[in-house]
Structure 1
Amino acid sequence: MIAQPCRPGIRGEARSMRSGVTDAALIDEALRALLARHGSAEVDASYAAYDEHPADEPDEWGDLASWRRAAAAS
């Protein structure tokens, strides 16, 4: 049970957008959307990490781009 009050009018706005849907279904949809957005943010953060350190940037193990070329050639 969710007993926390929400922003005034938001429940009515949601009900008007999704008429015929129960409050429980609206909350389920909202939570699914939140989880999907969070998952997208995690993927975006992963891509950002690759942008910060490109594959051809060497580190203590060498560089990934050279390894990929060597693996493809073998």
Structure 2
Amino acid sequence: MANLLVRMLRLEQPVTEGSKLEDELGMSSSQGVQLILDLERDLSIMIDVEDLDQDEMVTVGDLADYITAHATPQ
């Protein structure tokens, strides 16, 4: 996920589990949706976004935990 974020957001700084998606990385909500779509494609998974609360997705680790808990194989 870190590599995808670096590529998508054209970042020069490293991305860690504690990196804040919006405040530090500058990720917008539309980029968050694109990230999920890209992860689904790249990992051949489906991510249930019904319960996705963007207010709870503060860090890269938060997003990774959500994806792990809500992903199913395609």
Q: Same fold judged by TM-score > 0.5?
A: no
User: Whose strand fraction is larger, Structure 1's or Structure 2's?
Assistant: 2
User: Whose helix fraction is larger, Structure 1's or Structure 2's?
Assistant: 1
User: Scaled by the length of structure 2, what TM-score is found?
Assistant: 0.24
User: Scaled by the length of structure 1, what TM-score is found?
Assistant: 0.24
Q: Which structure carries more relative contact order (alpha carbon 8 Å, separation 6+)?
A: 2
